[in-house]
Structure 1
Amino acid sequence: MKKMSEWNWSLDKIKDVKKNDFKVVSCFSCGGGSTMGFKLAGYEVIGNVEIDPSMMKLYKQNHNPKYPFEMPIQEFNRLSISKIPKEFFNIDILDGSPPCSTFSVSGKREQKWGGAFSFREGQAKQRLDDLFFDFIETADRLQPKIIVAENVVGLILGKARGYVSAIIEAFDEVGYTTQLFKLNAATMRVPQKRERVFFVCHRKDLSYPKLRLELHEQPITYGAVRTGKGRPISQESETYKRWKKRRPKDRNFGDIMKREIGRDTNFSTVIFKDQLVPNTITASSMYLRNDVPEFISNEDIIRIQTFPYDYDFMDQNVQYVCGMSVPPIMMKKIAEQIYLQWLK
């Protein structure tokens, strides 16, 4: 019998994973990408905090959390101790991906710093620059043994590096030693060149050694995960006209536009080629197949993000949910190493 690929899995598999008796609380949980990663590594995720009602609906449908908190992280931090489950205090791992899109490498990001934004209609506006410090306040209150926080790689580039120093200092002030890792999902059995920064912290009273996250697994190409028919590109559209002008070396429409008009633009319309590892899946970019005039399929997106094939997206956009989530297999690999090196 042919062994199934690691990215090709179902939610049913979680019940067969050997449990390790360690517990996790997830903040900014979105669709539960990191939650699924921890579960695949044997942890129990007992609760979550999520601001978006649509995402919480999805989270409940697919993960059935024991303690769901649908509210902004700031409101959670203001709850009285009596309203927070006792299991949350001194939890083994506090997980979180504080949204920091203002530190993305795209656009004039410095102009966005300090502003209040919401990711989509119906969601409360928040100062995204502050969310990491709100998360650190949560850690200070709950005093988990370990903290895992994921964020965009733009956080460690240019002027944003001062922000990283402030984060590490804030963790230190509330009693945590921090290690910073820049990781590429493509080295972790995820079919995607997704670079992300991970802050992995432990409480200072715990004598853990330096964590090593040296993962160099064989990359997976788009051709290995490609499936289903994608939505056709309308032949009347500008997208089709530009797609027709592609050349073998072009990776995105930025390459085409630079050749056509002499400047970089439209680089978020990406061309996927069977022989290459897919680019990062984001919530808003466009992804096209190179050999046929089609967008990549939803099934492609699910596989590239290593979501389970039976995940119930309900009425939500597949690309949005996946693009806003941590790839489960990426978090699984990190969680396995935390267990092996620190907790076992």
Structure 2
Amino acid sequence: MKPLYRIPSMAEIAATPWNGFNAISTFSGCGGSSLGYRMAGFRVLWASEFIPAAAETYKANAAPYTVLDTRDIRKVTAAEILAATGLGVGEIDLVDGSPPCASFSTSGKREAGWGTVKQYSDTQQRTDDLFFEFARLLRDLQPRTFVAENVAGLVQGTAKGYFKRILKTLREAGYRVTARLLEAQWLGVPQRRQRIIFVGVRNDLGVEPVHPAPEPHYYTVRDAVGDLPGAFNDLDNDPETGYPITIRGYSIERLWRQLRPGEGHPARLNLKRLSFDQASPVIVARAGTKGTAALTHPTHPRYLTIPELRRIGGFPDDFVLTGNYARRWERIGRAVPPPMMARIAGTIRDKILIPLRDAETPCAE
């Protein structure tokens, strides 16, 4: 029988005993990855997030010992990170990075936007080169291990060339590297979200990278939101932001049928109805536009509430999201689900970092 779906509260995560290992986070977003490391007992000493709205949310939930740097990663040096953390080259246990994935997403423009500055969240920036900024910091920091993630589209179609370049660059930074396509619904998240996960171990340590094994069960939307007030109701407004979430002019019958060819829709919305008895489709950052679908309630003609999105995204109920309804949705849509990263981090902790530490500890006479 599978365990009940439950994400610990922010207070419980803050009280998680330190496992003795440190981490730094780049391209941190609202803090999904960082929260996963904290759930696994790591201390995230330093984080970087350039998007103001995401940095605002990260700051609202950060541990008191975490230094948040909001500059463009291109301006950050390894020396500055080491000075902020009080560590030396080679002393960081894990470096995490989630370079923006819009350039490689199959729902985006892909190669049409490579090499150009374009809109990303609240800013204008080039995003297809940021993996190489991550590799630059790895080369200069020389952490024991690293984790990097990106969309499944990185290994599909024309993006495969970028994937090979990224893998080569990470290995040239001094690491044994493996990459696996992992599915969030088999790692404790009630969401079908595929991500390419790179794991690297510094060459001199003589250890191979590891990835987590899938769980024998998955969680459904009902498992995730069944006990939330209003989860089974047709609500007019989101209880957290007050934003109208009823889909006006779109009857539940049409919602169930979806958009058949030639049927049309007055609002031209791209909608995807959830099933209570399945994991949710992937939560995307900007839903309802071309190539992406806005998630809707299984039985009522409304969008999901922010509390429902938070649960499906693997975040604690008391995780602070800032901004309006759309900004809060975007933060969840761009985030790595914390339970997924907690399992990745726990695997690296148990199979790489703890054995290395035990091997370095002198035996008592």
Q: Considering the TM-score relative to the shorter chain, is it more than 0.5?
A: yes
167-176 or 328-337, which moves further after superposition? Answer: 167-176
Q: What is the alpha-carbon distance in structure 2 between the residues aligned to residue 60 and residue 30 of structure 1?
A: 10
Q: Deviations over 1:56-88 (max 9, x none)?
A: 222222113432211011011387688554326
Instruction: Decide which of 253, 256, 261 is 1:258's aligned counterpart.
Output: 261
Alignment pair present for 1:331 and 2:341: yes
Instruction: Tell me, yes or no, if the aligned pair for 2:221 and 2:279 is still in contact at 8 Å.
Output: yes
Post-superposition offset of 1:54? 2.6
* Paired-residue identity, %: 31
CA RMSD of the aligned region, Å? 2.4
Post-superposition offset of 1:318? 2.1
Instruction: Decide which of 277, 280, 286 is 1:278's aligned counterpart.
Output: 280
Amino acid at match of 1:25: I
Instruction: Tell me, yes or no, if the aligned pair for 1:25 and 1:94 is still in contact at 8 Å.
Output: yes
Instruction: Tell me, yes or no, if the aligned pair for 1:26 and 1:35 is still in contact at 8 Å.
Output: yes
Q: What is the alpha-carbon distance in structure 2 between the residues aligned to residue 13 and residue 294 of structure 1?
A: 32
- Structure 2-normalised TM-score? 0.82
- Structure 1-normalised TM-score? 0.87
Tell me the residue number matched to 2:319: 311
Q: What is the alpha-carbon distance in structure 1 between the residues aligned to residue 53 and residue 342 of structure 2?
A: 25
Q: What is the alpha-carbon distance in structure 1 between the residues aligned to residue 346 and residue 301 of structure 2?
A: 40
Tell me the residue number matched to 2:96: 95
Tell me the residue number matched to 2:309: 301
Q: Which ranges of structure 2 fall in alignment gaps of 5 or more residues? A: 238-243, 288-293, 355-365
Q: What is the alpha-carbon distance in structure 1 between the residues aligned to residue 153 and residue 106 of structure 2?
A: 5
Alignment pair present for 1:321 and 2:331: yes
Tell me the residue number matched to 1:77: 77
SS of equivalent residue, structure 2 residue 76:
helix
Q: How many residues are aligned here?
A: 327
Tell me the residue number matched to 1:288: 296
Q: What is the alpha-carbon distance in structure 2 between the residues aligned to residue 55 and residue 235 of structure 1?
A: 27
Instruction: Tell me, yes or no, if the aligned pair for 2:82 and 2:89 is still in contact at 8 Å.
Output: no
Instruction: Decide which of 246, 249, 254 is 1:245's aligned counterpart.
Output: 254
SS of equivalent residue, structure 2 residue 190:
coil
Q: What is the alpha-carbon distance in structure 1 between the residues aligned to residue 3 and residue 182 of structure 2?
A: 25
Tell me the residue number matched to 2:67: 67
Post-superposition offset of 1:244? 2.9
Post-superposition offset of 1:313? 1.6
Q: 1:308 to 1:4 in 2, by over 3 A?
A: farther
110-119 or 276-285, which moves further after superposition? Answer: 110-119
Q: Deviations over 1:289-344 (max 9, x none)?
A: 13112211111100011111111223353211111111100000011110111011
Instruction: Tell me, yes or no, if the aligned pair for 1:228 and 1:297 is still in contact at 8 Å.
Output: no
